[in-house]
Amino acid sequence: MSNIIEEIRYFSCGYCTNEMSRIFKGVPKKKLNFYAGVFLIKHRKYGYVLYDTGYNIRLLKNTIKYMIYKKLNPVTLKREDMIDNHLKKAGIKAEEIKRIILSHLHPDHIGGIEYFSDIEIIITEECFREYDKSSFKSLIFKEFLPKDFEKRLKIINSENRNKNIYGIESYDLFNDGSFLLISINGHSKGQCCAFFPEKNLFIASDVCWGMELLLLTEKMKFLPKMVQDNFSEYKKGVETLKKLAEKGVKIIVSHDPPERIRGVLDE
């Protein structure tokens, strides 16, 4: 197996800004930007797969729901930051994208999906159940999803995750061992992460909000803990990432600083 995954590109589609001392206990005051990361993966045979879609400019409207979101999570976004524009600049047509994986359905991951019609949308079974239940805590802003969302879904069921990778069950997307999907709970239910064995690279969505913040997990304050779907599961996810890192796997999370992500992808 070599070069089945031809390339992985990264785009940042807007960001939110948070004060570190409001997220973690005992850290100095410092504002951090959390970029909404989107990844474009090119498979030699199956073409482009988009992993998440970033923010949508409509989130800047001042409806009550969006104002609450932005109060907790101030968003900076320009129209040109949206994924359709990044792809245009890169010379890639929306029609060239063959599938979209949504790691989970929070607004900073689903915002640009409206620019890709008809194609398959991949989510995990656990994520679908959460969507179906639609509680406020799940923070799924359904208005950003296309009308035919359910029809276009390819749901990764747990019984199909039969590829073992470092002791973790994963789903082999193209049945060639090049693109594995792994579900990790905690931040949200059934968060879909991706592992590329050829590149020894793990894209971990929001398992944590930055690899440099991994060791601060135990210091997380009450409110940001409450934003997670389940904090004890969240800690398990963090342990999984630590274990993978110990085994030499390169890990990036969606909200890592762009410089870090580009550095890891260029290695």
Task: Report the nearest approach of Zn ion to the CB of residue 104 (Å).
Answer: 6
Q: Using an 8 Å Cβ cutoff, are 35 and 19 in contact?
A: no
x/- map, 73-112, Zn ion, by CB under 5 A? ---------------------------------x------
Single out the residue of 181, 180, 236, 182 nearest to residue 208, CA to CA.
Answer: 236
> Contact between 255 and Zn ion (CB under 5 A)?
no
* CA distances (Å), origin 41, targets 72, 96, 178, 265: 32, 12, 11, 11
Structure tokens at 248: 């030499």
Task: Report the nearest approach of Zn ion to the CB of residue 250 (Å).
Answer: 21
* Cβ-based nearer residue to Zn ion, 178 or 228: 228
3-class secondary structure, 26: coil
Single out the residue of 140, 207, 129 nearest to residue 168, CA to CA.
Answer: 207
Q: Using an 8 Å Cβ cutoff, are 186 and 230 in contact?
A: yes
Structure tokens at 196: 């590329």
Q: Report d(CA 6, CA 52) in Å as an integer.
A: 19
* Cβ-based nearer residue to Zn ion, 3 or 17: 17
* Cβ-based nearer residue to Zn ion, 138 or 160: 138
Task: Report the nearest approach of Zn ion to the CB of residue 120 (Å).
Answer: 22
* Cβ-based nearer residue to Zn ion, 55 or 195: 55
Stretch that binds Zn ion, among 8-16, 38-46, 92-100, 204-212 (CB under 5 A): 204-212
> Contact between 206 and Zn ion (CB under 5 A)?
yes
Structure tokens at 107: 């607004």
Using CB under 5 A as the binding rule, the residues of this chain from 210 to 229 that contact Zn ion are none
* Cβ-based nearer residue to Zn ion, 4 or 122: 122
Task: Report the nearest approach of Zn ion to the CB of residue 224 (Å).
Answer: 12
The values of phi and psi at residue 108, to 5°, are -80, 0
Task: Report the nearest approach of Zn ion to the CB of residue 163 (Å).
Answer: 25
* Cβ-based nearer residue to Zn ion, 106 or 163: 106
Using CB under 5 A as the binding rule, the residues of this chain from 121 to 150 that contact Zn ion are none
- Per DSSP, 242 falls in state H
Number of residues that bind Zn ion (CB under 5 A): 2
Q: Closest-CB residue for Zn ion?
A: 106
* Cβ-based nearer residue to Zn ion, 126 or 206: 206
- Using a 10 angstrom Cβ sphere, with 0-12 exposed, 13-18 middle and 19 or more buried, the burial of residue 171 is buried
Contact residues toward Zn ion (CB under 5 A) are: 106, 206
